[in-house]
Amino acid sequence: MPDHYDVIIIGAGAAGLMCAITAGKRGKRVLLLERNKKPGAKILISGGGRCNFTNQDIVPTAYISENPHFAKSALSRYTPWDFMDLLARHGISWHEKTLGQLFCDQGAKAILKVLLDECSAAGVELRLEVEIDGVEGSDDGYLIRGKDDFSAKQLVIASGGLSIPQMGATDFGYKVARQFGLKIIEPRPALVPLIFEPEIVERMKELAGVAADSRVSVLEDKTAPSFRENLLFTHRGLSGPAILQISSYWQSGGAITIDLAPDQAAVSAWLRQQRTDSPKASIGAILSGWLPARLANQIAGSFPGNMASLSNSAIDALTGRLTNWTLAPKGTEGFKKAEVTRGGVSTAELSSKTMESNKASGLYFIGECVDVTGWLGGYNFQWAWASGHAAGNAV
């Protein structure tokens, strides 16, 4: 007979660990299964090893889903301050880097240690390097087939999405969902660098490594937010926080617009004034006042001469290049470079309060494998904590 538990959780990432802690504290006998050699792989690489564990400005509008209201319930019941309280009880401190993003002073390993210590205190049994051959419904709930068989009344899938496959990401969660009749919103890379056609890359190749303050928008979707952060030129296209953010909203075949002068009001009038005040100055020198020199000089290269040589129509064209630079990406760097997966198990199939399937009693989906995708900056970790906490209180 297989070992029987109250709850089996598959996936020892952020969501799975939080779910295990919450259920274990409620006296449940919990088994947490992980296919990797170590738990919390994404936690350890987050924020360059500092772990951007949440954002103090969590709002539901920072999440993308076919049901934009779905995340509200879980997020309202487990807030960033709840997670901060947990860290504080373990002597962990943090700081805000920018835009509400909170990073751990002691590093990502300290965050993972807190979670593992909490699991241990809650009596959670953690097994690593577990390969699962299949999941079956049974009279007792669910049967997990593998080298060793396990059963439980409640099964929680916290196996993540498809991002960063080199760290063990698979479509396991989607397969289980489909097996039990749940709909999947097509998964695609999100928070991912954009790539461009060779001729565009060739024009931008001298800018590789240059970062610039910008505001980036999706051309075709006026309802999508714009993002004011740095963009970064790469050898294949564009990256940086502003680009990663907009990539979650960009659709194949569409275009993005870039404002390289987000702090410059009335750019056209400003350029005309510069033409009057500094007629002999080079255009590149004028633009270098608020743009990186390499970028300023490349833009100026399309407008030969000095400021005095700029006609009114040329100033209008230069203004458009600075404030409304439109580019059509060829695609993205794919799941290999994506920080998260957009799409996943349809929220129409789940309870927003408990994360339980509407079709299969005792089956739950949490974290990245669900069709809830947050912005860059700690939002996805907060969804992991909140959805894991919701399921952990329900199982």
Long-range contacts of 294-300 (CB under 8 A, 24+ apart): 294/206, 294/207, 294/210, 295/207, 295/210, 295/212, 295/233, 295/260, 298/206, 298/207
User: Angle, to 10 degrees, between the axis of helix 80-89 and the axis of helix 379-394?
Assistant: 80
Length of the chain (residues)? 395
Task: List b or e across 133-154, with b for residues whose CB sees 16 or more CB atoms inside 10 angstroms.
Answer: eebeeeeebbbbeeeeebbbbb
Share of the chain above pLDDT 70, in %: 100
Long-range contacts of 262-271 (CB under 8 A, 24+ apart): 262/213, 262/214, 262/215, 262/228, 263/213, 263/290, 264/290, 264/322, 264/323, 267/319, 267/322, 267/323, 268/315, 268/316, 268/319, 271/310, 271/315, 271/318, 271/319
pLDDT of residue 274: 95
Which among 243, 229, 231, 227 is positioned nearest to 62, based on CA atoms?
Answer: 227
pLDDT digits (tens, 9 = 90+) for 354-372: 999 999 999 999 999 999 9
Q: What is the mean pLDDT of the chain?
A: 96
pLDDT of residue 280: 96
Share of the chain above pLDDT 90, in %: 95
pLDDT digits (tens, 9 = 90+) for 195-252: 999 999 999 999 999 999 999 999 988 899 999 999 999 999 999 999 999 999 999 9
pLDDT of residue 216: 98
| Between residues 174 and 265, the one the model is more confident about | 174
List of domains in the chain: 3-188+338-394 (3.50.50.60), 194-332 (2.40.30.10)
pLDDT at 138 over 90: no
Look up residue 343 and give its two tokens. Answer: 């799409």
Rounded mean pLDDT of 258-264? 92
Rounded mean pLDDT of 136-144? 90
Per-residue confidence band for 263, with pLDDT thresholds at 50, 70 and 90 = confident
Cβ partners under 8 Å of residue 75, min gap 6: 58, 60, 382, 383, 386
Per-residue confidence band for 302, with pLDDT thresholds at 50, 70 and 90 = very high
pLDDT of residue 264: 82
Per-residue confidence band for 3, with pLDDT thresholds at 50, 70 and 90 = confident
Which residue shows structure tokens 């500094």? 278
pLDDT at 5 over 80: yes
Determine the Cα angle at 59 with ends 53 and 62, to 5°: 80
Single-letter residue type at 29 = R
Single-letter residue type at 156 = V
Task: List b or e across 194-219, with b for residues whose CB sees 16 or more CB atoms inside 10 angstroms.
Answer: bbbeeebbeebeebeebbbbbbbbbe
pLDDT digits (tens, 9 = 90+) for 149-174: 999 999 999 999 999 999 989 999 99
Do the Cβ atoms of 155 and 327 come closer than 8 Å? no
pLDDT at 1 over 80: no
pLDDT of residue 46: 93
Q: Element (H or E) spanning 197, and its range?
A: none
DSSP 203-271: HHGGGTT-EEEEEEEESS-TTSPPEEEEEEE-SSEEESHHHHHHHTT--TT--EEEES-TT-SSHHHHH
pLDDT digits (tens, 9 = 90+) for 374-393: 999 999 999 999 999 999 99
- 3-state SS class at 20: helix
pLDDT of residue 2: 83
Residue 109: φ, ψ to 5°: -60, -35
pLDDT of residue 139: 77
